[in-house]
Structure 1
Amino acid sequence: MPRSERGRLTALYGSLLLLAGGGLVALVNVLLRNGLYASISGAITTTVAPPGTAALLREGVEVQAVPAERLPPGTAPSPEQLERFRITQNLTAAAEEAALHDLLLVSLVALALFAVLSIWLAWWMAGRVLRPVGVITETARRLSGANLHERIALRAPPGELKRLADTFDGMLDRMEHLVSAQRRFAANAAHELRTPLAVQRSAAEIGLAGDPPPEKVARIRTKLIATAEASEHLVESLLLLAVSEEGLSPAATDEVDLAAVVAAELAARPAEETRTVTVERTLAPLPVTGDRLLLGHLVRNLVANAVRHNHPGGRVTLTTTTTTATGADGLLTVSNTGAVIDPSEVPSLMEPFRRRAERRHTPGEGAGLGLSIVASIARAHGAELSAEANPAPHGGLTVRVRFGR
């Protein structure tokens, strides 16, 4: 058995072609064998030579054949007629045997040539059919992290292999996007973690150098504590993002009223955070199946994002509604006023460490992980997350999380 797919296809195609050719040769020989004797016999006995033909031929006289005649019923054939009938039978049998022999010989020779041609055609055809597979294999073997931008871009008519190549290209697109996102995430995480460490080191080396007064030591201490808290918050956010990407644990999954979760998160927020904005809520019971802790983080990040990126005197609106009569589907909506956002920037806000402006490391500034954590928790719960920029003059963002069971 051939070890390559091309060899197997060649053997299959060649065998089928040989089987078809052999069947055709056998069918022709069988049909001719059954009807050839009658055809030759009819052709020979249609015209017969008259009596005394042999003597006339020896004398050089031209002899014209005459049509064979049927004997009247009840008439016995003469000895000369019987002799001619015997000669006709012998000629018919000899002609039949010679014709069948020549036909069989020619058929076998033609079949041998056909076999060589069919195997060559099968080998060529298998190569043409498997060429896209070879291209896919070579591309997959050549790919690495440095050349994920390469694509097969197969030029072929629509078919299974064309769809396979296009699917492979689509997979490469997703892989390239994921690898780029991971590289960007690692670089941003390293930068975010390096900055507070540099601040702490500078404060320790410069601020505490020599014999600083107690007031300066107290300021440096406060600065170090605030920097450590920011670093701790960043690490916790990264851990939460990793946990939500792993999916839900069956042991932690339960029936949760999302409206109650929203109310609890709003009540737990410090009053000074929402003092400059107006919080409006319309909370209808919204039962969902999920992890209560992760859902709490989802609501907390949405509220924190809506408050942080608002402006004094702005508004934050939270709504929970059921979208079906049975309550099987539900919608959480968080909308806030704020700066006017370009709609093209909205999808990038869901990526880790993506901000609309450069980070200034001011108090209360986030690390750019809020919406990416929300997106990850929503995926873990099988929910659909969407966001859209609010038009001017109010601006801001509206985020919707649609749950289904």
Structure 2
Amino acid sequence: MTTIRVRLTLIYSGLFLLTSIVLLVTVNLLLRQALNTRIARWPGGAAAPQAPVVQGVPAGRVPPLPALVNDVIGYQWEVTGLTIGVLTLLSLVVGWLVAGRMLRPVHRITATARRLSLSTLHERIALAGPKDELKDLADTFDAMLDRLERSVEGQRRFIANASHELRTPLAVQRAAIEIGLPEDVGEIRGTLLLHNRRAERLIDALLVLAQAEHGLDGRGPVALEEVVRLAVAEAAQEGVTMSVRARPYLVDGDPVLLHRLVTNLLDNAVRYNHPGGTVEVSLAGGVLTVRNTGPHVPGERLGDLFEPFRRLHTTRGQGAGLGLSIVASIAKAHGAAVHANPLPDGGLELVVTFAR
């Protein structure tokens, strides 16, 4: 597939060569006609006049005028063909340079669009130059970025306000339950506390999901192997044997979100497991793999794993169904890919591949 620069070069060169060929052919034809007309008007017609001997050359040796005209026109056509060849090469070079110069603003717009992310929405193209179609396109793109930046900032403020407004009443409610209800009221106190904690976890998961989907505010080098070992040490075992093999690997990202990614992977591996089962965690070359034993996962249901509020099995400690959707959002924010593979004997293999 040819680029627009190549197409513009061919168009410029084609138009230039077409006009040049028409001009040269027209000049040659008019020259032939003019010479033939002049010869026809010559006294004695087309025959050459008798000329005296010049420097030892007899008059009979002088070529007739029609033959001389044919020689001149033939030479003219040879020069025309050579000229067209040179003009072809010259037009291609000039057309390529001119097309590149005209497309320079488009390349600048493309480079800016590729570089932009939610953390660099403050950048603008700010194309200078005459008020033409390309500058109008750049200004329109800048105006769109202004609207997008305002929208993202508004959503970030909403997330921050929602985090405070939703967590505060739940904390007050939990304190009221723990302080106001004595422990001897039976199951009511435990049930209320259980639902309170579930609501807190759900709100926390939704806020993390929203933060991950809106990109990273800042990046920095993160030792992923340390994050993995810390998450494994903090993970609830619940009768599951966990092993870890992690090699050093640096990730440019957010350490809090990366810790949440690993924690959710481990929580999913422990939650959807058999009593006495195993969880294997490995990190090598930027590929984080978590394998667990557990129930069989149908291959056609793998896509549902990363959708919010989707659960394939009913388990102890039922979650909100947001764990792997949060993993997918955090991975996407870090430029990583995540996919799942069912294991033949049951269980699941979750793989997160970070860009190198």
TM-score, L = length of structure 2 = 0.51
- In the TM superposition, residue 349 of structure 1 has moved relative to its aligned partner by 1.5
Partner of 2:300: 344
- In the TM superposition, residue 283 of structure 1 has moved relative to its aligned partner by 2.9
Find the aligned partners of 1:292 and 1:333 in 2 and give their Cα distance: 18
Amino acid at match of 1:237: A
For residues 146-185 of structure 1, the aligned pairs below 5 Å read none
Q: Out of 261, 264, 276, which is 2:227 matched to?
A: 261
Partner of 1:33: 34
With over 3 angstroms needed to count, the CA separation of the structure-2 counterparts of 1:71 and 1:257, relative to structure 1, is closer
Q: Out of 390, 395, 403, which is 2:346 matched to?
A: 395
Find the aligned partners of 1:22 and 1:259 in 2 and give their Cα distance: 73
List per-residue Cα deviations over 1:211-249 (Å, max 9, x = no partner). Answer: xxx999653443333223212211211110111122222
Partner of 1:287: 250
For residues 41-190 of structure 1, the aligned pairs below 5 Å read 41=42, 44=45
Question: What secondary structure sits across from 2:281 in the alignment?
Answer: strand
Aligned alpha-carbon RMSD (Å)? 3.8
With over 3 angstroms needed to count, the CA separation of the structure-2 counterparts of 1:71 and 1:32, relative to structure 1, is closer
With over 3 angstroms needed to count, the CA separation of the structure-2 counterparts of 1:216 and 1:226, relative to structure 1, is same
Partner of 1:276: 239
List per-residue Cα deviations over 1:251-285 (Å, max 9, x = no partner). Answer: xx333332222222222234xxx233221222333
Partner of 1:234: 202
With over 3 angstroms needed to count, the CA separation of the structure-2 counterparts of 1:22 and 1:231, relative to structure 1, is same
Name the % identity.
40
List per-residue Cα deviations over 1:348-402 (Å, max 9, x = no partner). Answer: 3222223325xx6x761122211111111112222232321111xx211111222
Find the aligned partners of 2:34 and 2:252 in 1 and give their Cα distance: 80
Amino acid at match of 1:346: L
With over 3 angstroms needed to count, the CA separation of the structure-2 counterparts of 1:27 and 1:217, relative to structure 1, is farther
List per-residue Cα deviations over 1:299-331 (Å, max 9, x = no partner). Answer: 11000100111112221101122x3xxxxxx22
Question: What secondary structure sits across from 1:385 in the alignment?
Answer: strand
Q: Across the two proteins, how many residue pairs are aligned to each other?
A: 217
Find the aligned partners of 1:275 and 1:221 in 2 and give their Cα distance: 24
Find the aligned partners of 1:381 and 1:45 in 2 and give their Cα distance: 88
With over 3 angstroms needed to count, the CA separation of the structure-2 counterparts of 1:309 and 1:38, relative to structure 1, is same
TM-score, L = length of structure 1 = 0.45
Contact 2:272 2:294 in 1 (8 A): yes
With over 3 angstroms needed to count, the CA separation of the structure-2 counterparts of 1:22 and 1:243, relative to structure 1, is same
- In the TM superposition, residue 14 of structure 1 has moved relative to its aligned partner by 11
